Every structure is written in structure tokens, then in C-alpha cells.
Amino acid sequence: MSRNVHCIKLNKEAEGLAALPYPGELGKRIYAAVSKEAWHMWLGHQTMLINEYRLTPIEPKARKFLEEEMEKYFFGAGSEKPKEFSQPE
């Protein structure tokens, strides 16, 4: 059975995540306030960040950067795209 949350990113009631998507307090906050739809949007944004900045997610510095961007994406002013990024056609 799915559960609904008031999604902080989309500002609407939507289907919530089935499990914690990330460890720790940030994961708990996301689970409580982010919808599946918004989480999938983040995954696309995160992929773009990894590719554009050529990050290696297993490196602690890259993980810290992605965690900070995730925090901004959902609970802050938003995560910016790199200046050099251009949307593929």
C-alpha cells in the first residue's frame, strides 16, 4: 500500500517513497516530505551533476558535494545547473 506526503518540492499531495532513499537525518527528512516524482527528478539532476562535474560518487568529497546539493534541491533555494551545462537536443 502506498502512502501520500505533501511534497515540499512540488507543493502538492503525491505518492511518497517506499523506503528511506538516503541514510541519516537527511534521508528521514526526504522520506517524510518528498514524493516519488520529486525524488526521480532529483535522480536526473544528480546524474547531470555527476556527469558535468565528472564526479566519482564513491569519493568522500563527491558524496559530500552531492549531499549538499540534495539538501539545497529539496529544502533550500535549489541546486543550480553548472554554467557550462546545455540541455541536450
For residue 82, being part of any structural domain is answered with no
pTM assigned to the model: 0.86
Provide the number of structural domains found in the chain: 1
Q: What is the overall mean pLDDT for the chain?
A: 90
- CA 14/CA 7 separation, integer angstroms: 6
| 3-class DSSP assignment, residue 71 | helix
For residue 87, being part of any structural domain is answered with no
Which CATH number is 47's domain given? 1.10.3880.10
Q: Domain range for residue 53?
A: 4-75
For residue 42, being part of any structural domain is answered with yes
* Each residue's pLDDT tens digit, 51-81: 989 999 999 999 999 999 999 999 987 777 7
Give the contacts of 14 (CB within 8 A, at least 6 positions apart). 4, 5, 7, 35, 36, 37, 38
For residue 35, being part of any structural domain is answered with yes
